[in-house]
A and B are shown apart, each in its own frame.
Chain A
Amino acid sequence: MKVLMFGWEFPPHITGGLGTACFGLTKGLLKHGVEVLFVVPKAYGDESEEAVRLLNASDVSIDFNSTVYQDYWKQLTYIEIGSNLVPYLGPEEFEKMIAKQEFDKSESETSVFSKSYSFSGKYGTNLMEEVTRYALVASAIANSQQFDIIHAHDWLTYPAGIAAKKISGKPLVVHMHATEFDRSGDNINQNVYDIERKGMEAADAVITVSNYTRDIVINRYGISPDKVFTVHNAVEPTESGEAMTISRNVSEKVVTFLGRITFQKGPDYFVEAAYKVIQMDKNVRFVMAGSGDMMYKMIRRVAQLHISPYFHFTGFLQGEDVDKMFALSDVYVMPSVSEPFGISPLEAMRSNVPVVISKQSGVSEVLKYALKIDFWDIDAMADAIYGLLHYDGLQDMFRKYGRAEVDSLKWENAANHVKEVYNIVLNQK
C-alpha cells in the first residue's frame, strides 16, 4: 500500500502539534509496512529552482537519531513544495505575515476552485491563493506518481487532496486535527469552513482526532457519520525516565495553566477557580504560563479579585522552561473550551504532575487517571484542584499510574487504526 500524504513540517522544523502528529503517524505507518509519499510545503530553501523537488529519504537532511527506524525510512519518499504555507494561520494572520515580506502582488482570487493558475513558482500573497496554488502543484505530483490512496492533513491541504483525487481517481482520506469552531468559537471564517466542508464531502473517509471532534464534524458540517472515523492522537515515547530535579523556590503548592491565553483555552475559568481555592487555602500559588490575546484581560481580572499575591504570569515559555514549569507544578489544569485533542496534559503527566482537564477535550476520551470537569463548572474545577492538593490518595494514584498510561498511547497503534481506515476505503472501490 502506498499513500500520497499531504502533511506538515518534519523534524527539525517542528513548530507545533500538527507537525508532531504527522511525523508520529508517518513513522507508525511505515512500521506497519505502508509506503508513504510525503508532501510538505517548504517556505524556505531555493526558490529559483524547480519548486517541486522529489527526494529520496537518503537525500533529505533530516536528523534521524534513531537507527531503529532506518529501514522504514526507505519506504518513505519525501517531497517538498516551495510554498509559504504554514500551519495554524488563519487568512487574516497570513495576510499580516505576507505584508511584512516583499513578494510580487499577483491577482487575488476568492474561490479556490474556480480558476486554474499557471504555475509561476512565485508564492501567493493571500492564503486562499496560496492554497489553490498548492493544490495545482499537488495535482502535478499526483499525475506523475504511483500510489493507492491520498491522505490530507488539515484544511490547508484539502484542496490539494481533492485535486489529487480528481487527477488520479484514487480515494481520498482527510484528517481533521482541528475544526474552525475550535479555533474561532462561533465566529467562524466562512471561507475556511467551506474548504473544510468541501474537503470532507469530497473525501471517501474522514479521520478525526477524537470523538469530540467527530461530533462537531457530523453535527456542524453535516458529514455522514458512516465515513467519519476517530483515531486518537498518541505521543512520542520519552527518551529517558529522568525527571527534572529542580529546587523549588516557593514552599507553597503550585497549580499551573500552560498554553495560549486565548478564548479556546479557557484561561478565564482558571482564574475564577483560582479565586475560589485561594479563599479557602492561602498555601497555594497559581501560575499562568503562556501568552495570547486574553492575557491583559486576565491580569486585570486577577488584580480585580485581589489575588495577585498568589497568582503569577510567566509569559511565553519554551523548551527547557516548559519542563521546568512542569517540574515545579503540583497540579496542571487544562480548562479548554474546545480542544480537538490537547497534548499538554500528557506532557504534564509524564512529569508526574496530576492533571485536571475539561470534558470538552479529545484527550479526556483516552485518559483514565485524570480529573475531568466541564470547562464552565468553576466549582467543580476548584474542588478538583483542592482535592488534588489536599487528599493524598489522588496524588498517589495519579503518580503511580499516570505516566504508564501516557506511555501506552503509541503512534504505532494509532497508525494501525489509520491503516484500517485505508483498507475500508480501498475495499469500497
Chain B
Amino acid sequence: MRSICFYFQVHQPFRLKTYRFFDIGTDHYYFDEYRNRYIMRRIADKCYLPMNNLLLNLIKEYGSAFKVSFSLSGTVIDQFEKYAPDVLDSFVALAETGCVEFIAETYSHSLSALKSKGEFLRQVEAQKAKVIKYFHKAPTTFRNTELIYSDGIGEMVAEMGFKTILTEGAKHILGWKSPNYMYCNAINPKLKVLLKNFMLSDDIAFRFSQQSWDGWPVTSEKYVGWLNSVDPAQETINLFMDYETFGEHQWKETGVFDFMKALPGQVFANSKYTFNTPSELSEKMQPVAEIHVPFPISWADEERDLTAWLGNELQDDAFKHLYELEYIVKNTADEDIQLDWKYLQTSDHFYYMCTKWFSDGDVHKYFNPYNTPYEAYINYMNVLSDFIIRIKDQHPVNYVEKAVEPQPEVVKELKEKAPKKAAVKAKTTEKPKDVAKPNGTKRAKITMNHILKLNKTTMRSLAKEINALTFYYALADADHKVKKAVTLHLGRLQLKEFNSYSWANLPVQESDTIEAQKIVLLKLEEYL
C-alpha cells in the first residue's frame, strides 16, 4: 500500500493599514480592518467554503478512505472568528468526520523559530490551544511557517513533544534521494520528517492552469497516471500546498474543483494508493534515513531558502527591532500588547519587504498590498515605532533601557566611594596584570575577573543579591570562565531567567553593560 498525504496551509495575515509617521503616538490601531475583512470574505466565498464543502462531500462519499490534513494559523482563526464564523463552522464539521488532521504551527505564522526559542514555544502553545478549542484534539504533527525547517528547529519541535514535522523536499537537501519516504531529524531521530513532493504538488498548486506547460490540462486520469509512474517501492506522495490554491490562485473556471472532486474516485479505481494523514504515516512508517538540514530551508521560490523574508537590509533591520522587544512584551500583562506583538511577527510583513522580485514580481504582486518593498518597510517601521512608545509608556520599569538603571542613590554612592576604596586597596595588595586591565568599565582596579577569586559560598551569596538581567548585561563582554563561574552559582529560577535571555539573544548596549557591571562590582567589592 502506498499513500497520498494531502496537507493544506490555511493562513491570512492581519495586513497593516497605511500608517503614517504622524500617526505614531496617537493611533494605536494598526490593521486594515476593511482590507482584511474584504479579503477574508472574498477567499471564504471563493475558496474556503466551497472547498470545505467539496471535501466534506468526498468524505461522506468515500468514508474514512479519504483523508486530508490542515494547518490553520492562529491569525486566520482569529479572522474567521471576526469576519467569517461560517468558515470556522465548516472546518469544525470537517474535524468531526475524524478524517481530517489539524496540525500545529506558530500562532501568527511567524519566523520566531529562527530567532527566539522562548517566543517560538509560546506561539506554538497558543496555536495549539486554539486548535484544541475548536477541534478538540491536540495536534501531534507540526509544520513551521512556510515549511521552514532545519536540524535545530526540528530538535526544538521534538522537545515540545511533536512526533512528526512537515517540510519541503528541497533538491539541494535531498540530492539523489527521493522525498517519497519517511525521514527523521538528524539531531533527534525520534522526530519523523515528511517531505513535500514539489513536482506533483506544484502541478496542482502552480501549473494547473498554465496553458504553456506541456502537462496542461491536468485531468484526474492524467494525474493518477503520474502518480502511478512513481517507482512502486516509494511509499508516500506528500502533496503540500496553500489551501487558497483552490478557487483563489487557481480560479474555479480552471476546473480545479472538478479535478479535486474526481481525484479520489480515480485514485481508488486505477491505483493502489490510499489517502493518509501525517500522523497515520508517522505511526505506520519507519524512517529510512536521517535528513541533514544544517541551514534553514522553506518551500518558497526557486531557492527554497529564507530570502523571501529575511536577508535584505530592510527585512533584517525590521526583524532585529521587532525581536529586541521580546523580553519586555513577554513580561507585560497587557493583552492588547501581547496580541499586537504576535500579529506584528507575521512573516507576511517581511515578505512584503522582499526586493528579490524587482525583475519578475508578477506572482508576488498578487499577494502584496504595497507597491514597493520600501513602502512596506516604512509602514511597518512606523507601526513598530508606535508599538515601542506604547510599551515605554505603559511599562516604564520593564523597558530595556530602564531595566538596568540602578537607583540614583546607588550610583551616587558608587561615584563617591569607589575611587577612594580602590585607591586604598591598590596600596595594600598587588594586583596581577591581567586582572588589573579595565574590563568594559572605567573603574580601574576591581574587574569582573575578580569573580573568579570568590569561593562557592560567597559566590552564592553574591548571586542572590543581583538579579538575572543585571548579570546578563554585566557578563555580555565577559570571558567564558567568568560566565561559567556565575551561572554555576545562580539559583534555579535565576538561571532559567538568565538562559531565556541568552536564548533570545536579548540585545545588549554597551551602556547597559557598563551600568550593570557597576552594580555587580559594587557588590563584589563588599565580598572580596
Partner of B374, one of A382, A386, A394: A394
The closest CB in chain B to the CB of A386 belongs to B21
| B contact set with A: CB distance below 8 Å | 20-22, 24, 312-318, 355, 358, 371-372, 374-375, 377-379, 381-382, 385
Is A397 in contact with B20, judged by CB distance below 8 angstroms? no
Bound-state CA distance A372–B21 (Å) is: 17
Chain A residue numbers with a CB within 8 Å of B313 are 392-394, 396-397, 400
| Contact present for A383 and B317 (CB under 8 Å) | no
A383–B382 CB distance below 8 A: yes
CB distance from B378 to the nearest CB of A (A): 3
Interface residues of A in 252-271 (CB under 8 A from B): none
In the complex, whether A178 has a CB less than 8 A from a CB of chain B is: no
Q: B143 CB to closest chain A CB, in angstroms?
A: 29
**Is the C-beta of A379 less than 8 angstroms from some C-beta in chain B?**
yes
Given A372-B372, A379-B20, A382-B20, also A387-B317 (CB < 8 A) = no
- Nearest residue in A to B373 (C-beta to C-beta)? A397
Does A141 touch B at the CB level, under 8 Å? no
Q: Assess whether A383 is in contact with B21, with CB atoms less than 8 Å apart.
A: yes
Q: Which 10 residue pairs across A and B have the least CB separation, nearest first?
A: A393-B317, A387-B378, A397-B313, A386-B21, A393-B314, A396-B313, A391-B381, A393-B313, A383-B20, A368-B358
9 CB contacts below 8 A, A to B, read A372-B372, A379-B20, A383-B378, A383-B382, A387-B377, A387-B381, A390-B385, A394-B314, A394-B378
**Chain B neighbourhood of A392, CB < 8 A:** 313, 317
- The count of residues in chain A whose C-beta lies closer than 8 Å to any C-beta of chain B is 21
Min CB distance A162 to B, Å, is 41
Known: A382-B22, A394-B314, A397-B355. 7 other contacts (CB 8 A): A280-B21, A280-B22, A386-B382, A391-B377, A392-B313, A393-B317, A393-B381
Task: Tell me which residues across on chain A come within 8 A of B312, comparing CB atoms.
Answer: 397
A368 to B371, CA, bound (A): 12
Interface residue from B20, B374, B379, B381 paired with A371 (Cβ < 8 Å): B374
For the complex formed, measure the closest distance between the CB of A368 and the CB atoms of chain B, giving whole angstroms: 5
Give bound CA distance, A393 to B375, whole Å: 12
Q: Is A384's beta carbon under 8 Å from chain B?
A: yes
Residue A279 lies at the interface, judged by CB distance under 8 Å to chain B: yes
> In the complex, which residues of chain A have a beta carbon less than 8 angstroms from the beta carbon of B316?
393
Interface check A324, CB cutoff 8 A: no
Residues of the B chain whose Cβ atoms lie less than 8 Å from the Cβ of A393: 313-318, 377, 381
- Which of chain A's residues 400-414 have a Cβ closer than 8 Å to chain B? 400
Which residues of chain B have C-beta atoms less than 8 A from A279's C-beta? 22
Closest beta carbon of chain B to A396's beta carbon, Å: 4
Bound Cα distance A371, B314 (Å)? 13
Contact B377–A382 (Cβ < 8 Å): no
Contacts of A371 in B (CB 8 A): 372, 374-375, 378
CB of A227 closer than 8 Å to a CB of B: no
Shortest B440–chain A CB gap in Å is: 25
Chain B residues with Cβ under 8 A from A312's Cβ?
none
Q: Which of A368, A379, A390 contacts B381 (CB 8 A)?
A: A390
A2 close to B (CB within 8 Å): no
Q: Is A276 an interface residue (CB 8 A)?
A: yes
Max count, chain B CB within 10 A of own CB: residue among A276, A280, A371, A391: A391
Q: Shortest Cβ distance from B277 into chain A, in angstroms?
A: 42
- Taking the closest CB of chain A, its distance from the CB of B503, in whole angstroms, is 25
Determine the distance from Cα of A277 to Cα of B382 in the docked complex, in whole angstroms. Answer: 13
A379 to B379, CA, bound (A): 12
Q: A390-B381, A397-B312 are in contact. Are A382 and B317 (CB under 8 A)?
A: no
A242 to B203 alpha-carbon distance, docked (Å): 53
Complex: how many Å from CA A383 to CA B383? 12
Specify the chain A residue showing the minimal Cβ separation from B317: A393
Expressed in whole angstroms, the Cα–Cα distance for A387 and B377 within the complex equals: 8
In whole angstroms, how far apart are the Cα atoms of A383 and B375 in the complex? 9
- Knowing A371-B374, A387-B381, the reply to whether A382 touches B21 (Cβ < 8 A) is yes
In the complex, what residues of B have CB within 8 A of residue A390's CB? 21, 381, 385
Cα–Cα, bound, A379→B382 (Å) = 13
CB-based contact B378/A391 at 8 Å: yes
CB B360 to nearest CB in A, in angstroms, measures 13
Within 8 Å CB of A391, what residues of B?
317-318, 377-378, 381
For B316, B355, B374, which residue has the most chain A Cβ atoms within 10 angstroms?
B374
Complex Cα gap A379–B18 (Å): 10
B320–chain A nearest beta-carbon distance, Å: 9
Min CB gap A81→B, angstroms: 45
Shortest Cβ distance from B380 into A: residue: A391
Report the minimal beta-carbon distance from B48 to chain A, rounded to whole angstroms: 34
Q: Are A396 and B378 touching (Cβ within 8 A)?
A: no
Bound form: Cα–Cα A413–B314 in Å: 31
The answer to whether B317 and A396 have CB atoms under 8 Å apart is: yes
Q: Which residue of B lies closest to A399 (CB)?
A: B313
In-complex Cβ contact of B377 among A280, A368, A394 (8 A): A394
How far apart are A397's CB and chain B's nearest CB, in angstroms?
Answer: 4
Specify which chain A residues have a CB less than 8 angstroms from the CB of B375 in the assembled complex.
371
CB distance from A263 to the nearest CB of B (A): 26
Specify which of A387, A394, A396, A400 is in contact with B382 (CB 8 Å cutoff): A387
- In the assembly, what is the distance between CA of A289 and CA of B518, in Å? 50
Residue of B nearest to A395 (CB): B313
Bound-state Cα–Cα, A14 to B355, Å = 38
- Chain B CB within 10 Å, residue with most, of A276, A386, A396, A400: A386
